[in-house]
Structure 1
Amino acid sequence: MPAAQKTSWTRWLTFALLLAAGLALAVAAGRWAENAAIERLREAGAQRLQSYALGLENLLSKYDFLPGTLELNKDVIALLANQHDDGLRREVNTYLESMNRLSRATTIYIVNLQGMTQAASNWRLPDSFVGDNVAFRPYVRDAMIGKPGGFYGVGTTSREPGYFFAHGIYRDGKMLGVAALKVNIERLEASWVQGRDRVLLADANGVAILSSVPEWKYGTLAPLAPAVRQELERSRQFHSHSLKPIGYREVRTLDARASVVAVDGAPGSGRMLRQALALRARDWQFVYFSDLGPADASARSAFIFACLSQALLAMLVLYARQRRLGRQRLRAREDLQRAYDHLETMVAERTASLQQMTENLSAENLVRRKAEQQLRQAQSELVQAAKMAVLGQMSAGMTHELNQPLTALRTMADNARVLIERGRLPEASANLATISQLVARMGLITGQLRQFARKTDATLPAQAVPVAAAITGALFLVERRVEQERVNFRMSMLDHDVHALCDSNRLEQVLVNLFTNALDAMQASEVRQLSVTVERTDDRVMIGVADSGPGVPAEIRAHLFEPFFTTKPQGHGLGLGLAISEQIVREFGGLLRVETTPAGGARFIIELPLAERETNKHENFTG
C-alpha cells in the first residue's frame, strides 16, 4: 500500500475512533444527568413519604385509646348485662352520641358477644348501626379473642369507608362485649400531591385504600391470590369493589425500595420513579410515583450539550491549527527576508518577542492564581454542602428531639391555662417554669445545629481551639443516633486543656464525619464501642476515633481518601466525606490517617499542630 494511501486510512480510522469516543462520552453524560435527576427525585419522594406517614399516624393515634375507655361507663356495662332494657339503651346511645361529637369520629358503637350492635352514636339516623350483625368483621373477631382490633374497610350499612378500632369490654375479668370506633381517613387525600406525581396507601394485601388518583382507589399493586380474594369477599372489607390491578410494570430496579416503572395513562413517556415506605405497625405501605419527565429532559439536554460542545471543540481545534500553520508560514517568510536585509532589526524583533512571551507568562500566572482562588472557594462550598448533607441525615433524629418538648409544651400550656382559671396559681407557676426549661432545651438543640451549619471562611487564620469542646459539640450532633443504636461511647483524655491550631467549626465537621462513618460500620456488629482518645506531644495533638466494626482491609486503605471512593451501598454516600476531611486537616498543617486496631475495627487519627502548652490534669472519664 502506498504511503499516501496508508496515511489517509490512518486519518479516517483516527476520526472514526474520536467520533465513537465522543458519542460514548455524550451517552455517559446523559446517563449521569438522568441518574442525578432521579436521585434528587428520590430524596424529595422520601421526604414526602415520611410526611404522609407522620400525618396518618398522628390522625390514627388520637383514637387508639378511645374504645378502651368505654368500659369505664357503668351504663355501657349495664346494657351489655341487660340487653333488653330499652331505656338503658337510649341512655347509652345518647352517651355515645356525645362522645362521638367530642372526638370527631365517624361512629362509635357497642357490640355484644354474638356480634349484634346494641348501641351506636348514629342511632338517630336512618342507616343506624343498632341491630346490625358485625360478627363477620375481622376487627370484631380479633377483639372477641382479646386482641385489640384495627381494620380498614367499607361500611356494609353506610357504604362509607373508614378505619375501625375495636377493644374488648370487661367486668371482673370477664368479657361482656366489644367497643368499636370508626374514623374517616379519606380527608388525608385532599392534602396529598396533585399534578403528575402520584401517591397511594396500600394495605397488607396490596389493595390501595387511599390514593391521589381516583381511578387507583381499591386497585391492587399485584393480582390477588384466590385465597386472599375469598377472604376479602367473606369479610366484605371492600364491599362490592372489583379490586382490579393498577396498570404499571417495572422497567428497572434501583434498590429494594425504589424502581423505575411504566405507568398506564401517565403523561409523557409514562416512566415514573416508584418508592415505597412500609408502616410496620399497621402492615401498610405508602407508594409514591414521581414523574421522570424532568429526568428524561435532563438526560436529553446533557447528551445534546455534550455533542455540541465536542463539535465546537473540534471546530476550534481545526481553526486554531489552520491559523497557526498560516501564521507560521507567513512569519517564516518575513523572518527570512529580514534576516537577509537587516540582521540587527531581526535581533531587536527577537528581543521584543521574548519580552512579549514574558508578559504572556505573567498574564498566564495571574490567571492561574485567580483559578486557584476560585478552586479554593469551590472547595469551601463543597465543605459546606457536606455539612448540609450531615444535617439532612440527622434531621429525622432532631425532629424527634424537638417533637417531644413541643408536645410537652402544648400539654403543660393547656394545663397552666386551666389552673389559672381555677385559681391554682402555684401549680400554674410550676408549669410555666417547666415550660421555660423545655424552651431552653430546644434552644440548645437548635443553637448547636445553627453553629454547625455556619459557613466557615477557609481563608481565615487558624486559632487555638479547645479539643474537648470540639469533641463535645460533634458528639452532640450524633448523640441521638448513638442512643438509638445502643453504642457505648468512651472518651480518654489525660489533659482537658489541650488546644489545637485549627478552626473549631471545620474540626467539628471532620469529627462528625468520622463518628458517622464509625456508626455506619458498626451497624451489623454485636459489640458497638465508639472510643475517642486525645494525646499530645511537644508540638502535636493526636485525636483518635476507633470503632468495633469489621475494620478497613489493606486493599481499601490505599484508596480511602480518594474523592468519590466509597464502600457504602448506592444512595448512602458520595465518597466525599473522608476526602474533604483529609483536605481540611491538611490545610491546618496536620495529617489524617487510618490504622487497624489489634482487637478489630478501625482507628482514624487526626494529627494537628499544638496551639499552646497547658498543665496536664491526668483525668480520665468514660461516657
Structure 2
Amino acid sequence: MLKLSAPYRAGFAGSPGDLRDKAVLARFNGDAPAIPAGAPPLPRWRFWGAIGLWLCLIAGGGALAYLVGERAGIRSLQQGTLHRLDIYATSLRSELSRYEYLPQVVSLSPDVLDLLRKPHDSSLQLDANVYLETVNAHAQASAIYVMNENGLTLAASNWNQPGSFVDMNFSYRPYFQDALRGVPGRFYGIGTVSREPGYYFSFGIPDGLRQLGVATVKVNLDKLDAAWSHSADRVLAIDGNGVVFLSSDPGWKFRALRPLSSETLQQLAQTRQYTEAGALTPIDMREHQPLSGGAGTVVQLRAGEAPQRAGATPFGPDYLLDSRPVDGTDWKLIMLSDMKPVHALARTSALATMFALVFLTLLVMYFQQRRRIVHQRLAAREALQGAYDELEHKVELRTEALSEANQHLQTEIAERKRAEEILKNTLEDLVQTGKMAVLGQMSAGITHELNQPLAALRTLSANAVVYLERGQSDQVDLNLRTICDLTDRMGQITAQLKKFARRSAVELQSVPLADVIADSLFLLGQRIRQERIELEQAVEPRLFARCEGNRLEQVLVNLLVNAFDATAAAGASPRRVRIVARRTVEGVAVEVHDNGTGIAPEVMPRLFEPFFTTKEQGLGLGLGLAISAGIVRDFGGLLRAGDSELGGAAFIVTLRNGHRGAQGMQSTQGTQATQGALHG
C-alpha cells in the first residue's frame, strides 16, 4: 500500500525551498517591487526584430563553421590523397624499371649482332628469333624485337605467332628515332599490329661509329589498370599532351583532359601513338574554387562521366583534384577524391554550431520560463497531498480486489491440475483400449494361428502313443521333437500378444525400426496370408528411432489395419501395401502406402479428430488415427497423411534419429527369431 512519509508531509509546512518559492511567487503577485509601474511595454516590432537578429546570428555562425570545416576537410583529404599518389607512382615506376635494362642486354647478344650484319641469312634469323622468344618468356614482357637501321623488324619474340612483328617497319615511331640517335627511347602508344597499348623501351645497337639497328621491348601495363579498378580511388595517368592512357575508370582511357590543339593532333597522327583509340574526346569537367577559398582544386564532371544524383545539375558531385609527376617520364598521375566526406564534415560543423547557439538560447529561455513555473509548484503541492490521500484509499480497495482474485486463481489452478491428471489417465486408458480393440479385430486370425499347431499336437501325440506301443522309438522321438517345435511356436505367438497388450509408459530410448516393423507384421501375419495382400518392404538397414517400441508398434498396427481395410473397400486387385523406412533431414521416417480408396480433400482436415471415421457404422470408432497421432507427438515426432504413388493413401511417421546400442543389438536378434517364426 502506498504511504506518504512523515518528512515529506512536513516539507509542505515551511521548508527553506518552500519559503524561496513563496518569495518568488510574491514577486510575481506584486508583493515585491520587480518592474517600475511606469515602465512602457516592449513594442512588437522590437520583439520581432530580436527574433530576426537571433536567426541571423545562428545562420552566420553556421556559415562560418561550414567554411572552417570545409577547409579543414580539404587539408585532411589532400594529405591522404598525396600519400596514395606516392604509392601509385612508386608502383608504376617500379613496374617500368623492371624492363629498362632489357633492350641493352638484347643489344649485346651475338645472335642479334650476327643477324644485323647478315640480315638475309635465314639460319641467323631463326637463331635470333629463338633467342628473343626465350628472353621474353623469362622477362614476361609483351614482345621483344630487333629492327635494322631503316626500322624494318628482322627478328621478334612473336615470330611464330599470328600478328608477328617480323618484316614490319616502325621507323615512324619516336622510340626508334631516339634510339637511332644514340638516346634510349621511351614511348607509350597503341600497337599498329597487335592493336594493344604498351610502353616501349628501345636502345641502339652500335657497330663502331654507326648504329646497326635498334632493340625494343614492349611492356603491357594493363595489370596496373586492373589493380587500380579494384581501388575505391579514381586514378588516371596522362602523358605530356594530357591524354589519359591508364585509368581506374575504363571509360576515361584514351581521352584528353582538355581539348587538343591541331598541332598536337597532327603530331599524334604522325607517330600513330593513339591511332586505334578513336577521336581522343576530352573529358567534360569544369574547375571551380571551394567556398572556403583557395584550399585546393575542385572539379565537377558532367553527367555521364560520373554517377549523378536525381535532381542534380548537369554536372555531377565535386571531386578534389591532386596530381604529381612520374620520375623519368613526362607523365602525371592524377587522383580525383570524392568531396562528399568534406561536405559532410562541413555540414556537421555548421549544424553543431547552429545547435549550440540554439541550445544556449533555449537555456536562457528555460531560466526565464522557470521563474514563471515556480508559483505553479506551490499550488501543485497542495493538490498533490489531496491526490495522495485519494490514491491511498484506491490502493486499499484495489489490494482487497487483487487478494480475492489471487485466491480465486489459486483455486482454478488446483482444479486445472486435477483435470490434467484425469485427462492424462484417460489418455493412457484410451491408448490401452486401442490396443485391445486391435487385438479384438485380430482375434480370428490369432485363433487360427493357434488352432493349427493344436490340431497338429493332438495328431502327433496320438501317433506317439501308437508308435510307443509298437516299439518304434525313432518315430516316437521324431513326434516328440515336432511337438516341442510346435509348442515353441505357440509360445512365440502368445509372448508377442502379451508384449503388445501390456501397458507401458512413455520412456524414450533408441529402438531399431526393423524390429518394430517385424513385430507389427507378425501380429498381422494371418490376415496378410488369408486375404492375400501383397506386402512390399523397403527398410534401410541400421535405422534407430528415439521412441518407445511397444507404442510405436501400436501405431504401425493401426496404420497397417487401416491400409488393409482401404484396399478391401476399394476392391483393388491385387491389394498392395508398401512399408518404407528411411533416413530424412528431420531424422527417420516410416511410411505406409496402399492402393486403396485414398483420402478425399474434404476429409483431410478432420482426419485426426477423435471419433471421426469414414468406415461404415460398427467397423470403427474413429479413435485409431487420433491415438496414433497423440503417441507420435509424445515421441516428439509427427504423423501426417497424403496421397500415395500406389494410388491410395500414404501415412508418414517422422521421428527423431536414435543411436544403435547394446539393447538394440539384442532386440535385433530377438526380431530375427520372430521373423523366422512368422515365415515358418
- Could you tell me which of 202, 205, 213 is aligned with 1:166? 202
In the superposition, relative to structure 1, how do residues 193 and 83 fare at CA in structure 2: closer, same or farther (>3 Å)? closer
2:158 and 2:376 mapped to 1: Cα distance?
101
Alpha-carbon contact 2:324-2:332 (below 8 Å) kept: yes
1:188 and 1:259 mapped to 2: Cα distance?
26
Alpha-carbon contact 1:257-1:275 (below 8 Å) kept: no
Alpha-carbon contact 1:260-1:272 (below 8 Å) kept: yes
Q: Which deviates more from structure 2 when the two are superposed, residues 320-329 or residues 125-134? A: 320-329
Q: Is 2:115 the counterpart of 1:79?
A: yes
1:118 and 1:24 mapped to 2: Cα distance?
75
In the superposition, relative to structure 1, how do residues 91 and 193 fare at CA in structure 2: closer, same or farther (>3 Å)? closer
1:239 and 1:221 mapped to 2: Cα distance?
18
Q: Which deviates more from structure 2 when the two are superposed, residues 256-265 or residues 154-163? A: 256-265
**SS state of the match for residue 134, structure 1?**
coil
**What is the Cα deviation at residue 316 of structure 1?**
1.8
- Could you tell me which of 223, 246, 253 is aligned with 2:283? 246
**SS state of the match for residue 270, structure 1?**
strand
Counterpart for residue 272 of structure 1: 319
Map 1:473-552 to 2 at 5 A. none
1:263 and 1:41 mapped to 2: Cα distance?
19
Alpha-carbon contact 2:237-2:334 (below 8 Å) kept: yes
What per-residue deviation string (whole Å, max 9, x for no partner) do you get for residues 139-158 of structure 1?
Answer: 10111111111000001100
- Count of matched residue pairs: 330
**What is the Cα deviation at residue 38 of structure 1?**
2.2
Q: Which deviates more from structure 2 when the two are superposed, residues 110-119 or residues 72-81? A: 72-81
**What is the Cα deviation at residue 326 of structure 1?**
6.1
* Normalised TM-score (structure 2): 0.46
Alpha-carbon contact 1:258-1:276 (below 8 Å) kept: no
Alpha-carbon contact 2:74-2:296 (below 8 Å) kept: no
In the superposition, relative to structure 1, how do residues 195 and 301 fare at CA in structure 2: closer, same or farther (>3 Å)? farther
Unaligned runs of 5+ in 1: 332-623
Which one has a bigger Cα radius of gyration? 2
**What is the Cα deviation at residue 312 of structure 1?**
2.7
**SS state of the match for residue 53, structure 1?**
helix
Counterpart for residue 149 of structure 2: 113
Counterpart for residue 283 of structure 1: 330
Map 1:133-144 to 2 at 5 A. 133-144=169-180
In the superposition, relative to structure 1, how do residues 143 and 257 fare at CA in structure 2: closer, same or farther (>3 Å)? farther
Counterpart for residue 191 of structure 1: 227
Alpha-carbon contact 1:208-1:218 (below 8 Å) kept: yes
Counterpart for residue 260 of structure 1: 298
1:278 and 1:220 mapped to 2: Cα distance?
17
**What is the Cα deviation at residue 296 of structure 1?**
2.1
Counterpart for residue 49 of structure 1: 85
**What is the Cα deviation at residue 76 of structure 1?**
1.1
Unaligned runs of 5+ in 2: 1-37, 310-315, 379-680
1:116 and 1:148 mapped to 2: Cα distance?
18
Counterpart for residue 491 of structure 1: none
What per-residue deviation string (whole Å, max 9, x for no partner) do you get for residues 274-331 of structure 1?
Answer: 1111124201001101111222223333333333332232122111123246659999
Counterpart for residue 7 of structure 2: none
1:99 and 1:140 mapped to 2: Cα distance?
21
Q: Which amino acid aligns with 1:288?
A: M
**What is the Cα deviation at residue 252 of structure 1?**
1.5
Alpha-carbon contact 2:198-2:221 (below 8 Å) kept: yes
Q: Which amino acid aligns with 2:289?
A: R
What per-residue deviation string (whole Å, max 9, x for no partner) do you get for residues 440-477 of structure 1?
Answer: xxxxxxxxxxxxxxxxxxxxxxxxxxxxxxxxxxxxxx
Q: Which amino acid aligns with 2:324?
A: L
In the superposition, relative to structure 1, how do residues 256 and 110 fare at CA in structure 2: closer, same or farther (>3 Å)? farther
**What is the Cα deviation at residue 4 of structure 1?**
3.8
What per-residue deviation string (whole Å, max 9, x for no partner) do you get for residues 401-424 of structure 1?
Answer: xxxxxxxxxxxxxxxxxxxxxxxx
2:325 and 2:295 mapped to 1: Cα distance?
9
In the superposition, relative to structure 1, how do residues 195 and 61 fare at CA in structure 2: closer, same or farther (>3 Å)? closer
Counterpart for residue 369 of structure 2: 322
**SS state of the match for residue 296, structure 1?**
helix
2:99 and 2:40 mapped to 1: Cα distance?
89
Runs of 4+ deviating beyond 6 Å: 253-257, 328-331
Q: Which amino acid aligns with 1:259?
A: T
Q: Is 2:143 the counterpart of 1:96?
A: no
What per-residue deviation string (whole Å, max 9, x for no partner) do you get for residues 153-180 of structure 1?
Answer: 0011000110000110012242111011
2:83 and 2:154 mapped to 1: Cα distance?
45
- Could you tell me which of 16, 34, 38 is aligned with 2:74? 38
Q: Which amino acid aligns with 1:47?
A: H
1:46 and 1:210 mapped to 2: Cα distance?
18
Q: Identity across aligned pairs (percent)?
A: 39
Alpha-carbon contact 1:196-1:291 (below 8 Å) kept: no
Alpha-carbon contact 1:151-1:165 (below 8 Å) kept: yes
2:132 and 2:288 mapped to 1: Cα distance?
52
- Cα RMSD (Å) of the superposition? 2.5
Map 1:42-441 to 2 at 5 A. 42-192=78-228, 194=230, 197-241=233-277, 242-252=279-289, 258-264=296-302, 265=304, 266-267=306-307, 268=309, 269-324=316-371
In the superposition, relative to structure 1, how do residues 256 and 279 fare at CA in structure 2: closer, same or farther (>3 Å)? farther
Counterpart for residue 591 of structure 1: none
Counterpart for residue 551 of structure 2: none
